[in-house]
Amino acid sequence: MIFTEGSGLQDSVYGKAQNPIKMFLEKRGEAFEQEAITNVIYDHNPSTHFGEQYTTMTAMEGFSPVGENGAYPTDSMQEGFSKFLENMTWKDKFVISQEMVDDSILMNFKQRPEAFLNGYYRTREQFGAALLAGAIKKQTSVTFRGKTFSCTSADNLCLFSKVHPSKIDSSFQQSNLFADALSAATIGKLEVQMNLFKGDQGEILDVTPDTIIIPADYTLKQTVFAALGADKDPGTAYNGYNYLFGRWNIIIWPYLNQFITSGTSPWIMMDSKYNAAYKTLIWQDRKELSIRSVIDDNTDANAWHGSARFTAGFNDWRGIAVGGVSGGTSL
């Protein structure tokens, strides 16, 4: 966070409140940053411009046998689909009135800053969840607090789609949208499906999913931990080995519940390393949270203004897939 303080505040009635509020905001902010799910599932990228362009390159064909003293064949690659993310400005403020200070209502010196910072980090979580939930609902955009944001990947289709095309051959299509409900069997099937995702040249990418994301749903939680929570398979006669055990990071994200369709149970599988390397889910920070403390000329109250610039979006769809969505491909 960046703090600035208007002139005359230390000499005013609000002077003694400045440092305690600032310290509280800093400590509260650090706690939120360690707990935020968006920091885990989105790949965070600093931005230095109005917006940023993300793209991929197709693979080369690789080495060819040429025999003794053979000439070097010339390989080539080209730009794949690209995605532009424009940064958005976000603002809020809270106020401490002179009457609060006069009447020594000290509780407001903690409650209002806490609610203010809760609102900022909750907004980031809700925004990230709204984008992902929009993609789960097969939407190409979502409206979040009056502004429209894209849910498409770089190929201009919804992040989750049955017909993602190749940049080289548009007739070659792949799906990362599946209908199957969560179970031990479908976890294994979707993992293999992602292992076989291909690049624009038709090459196997060896995507290796390691993360499962679900909303806060009792049945999904019970199912995923029953499938992954033990190294033996109690359902077999000889208590066989559970090959799915110990290989997954399970994320339960309650904020998804607010935006997915009621009564549905989607589940997401993601390769965190592919996400970081090829920018599947992108979080873009242009300006960190800046908080300015000033005296309002109209009310003589102490106003704390907060502003930040950030956005989020999707690029290369191959790092992620969703199951449990009606109309999706069958595993």
- Look at 127-141, 184-198, 223-237 and tell me which has the smallest mean pLDDT: 223-237
Residues 6+ apart with CB under 8 A from 31: none
Please name each of the domains of the chain with its CATH number. 2-55+81-323 (3.90.1690)
Residues 6+ apart with CB under 8 A from 70: none
Report which DSSP code applies to 167: S
Residues 6+ apart with CB under 8 A from 109: 17, 20, 21, 96, 100
AA identity, residue 129? A
Instruction: Report the pLDDT value the prediction gives residue 161, as an integer from 0 to 100.
Output: 97
Rounded CA separation 276/283 (Å) = 11
Rounded CA separation 226/242 (Å) = 11
Share of residues in the chain with pLDDT > 90 (%): 56
Q: How, if at all, do strands 281-295 and 2-5 pair?
A: parallel
pLDDT tens, 20-43? 777 767 666 555 666 789 999 999
pLDDT tens, 84-96? 999 999 999 888 8
Tokens of 155: 């190929």
pTM of the model: 0.87
pLDDT tens, 225-256? 888 877 676 566 656 677 677 789 999 999 99
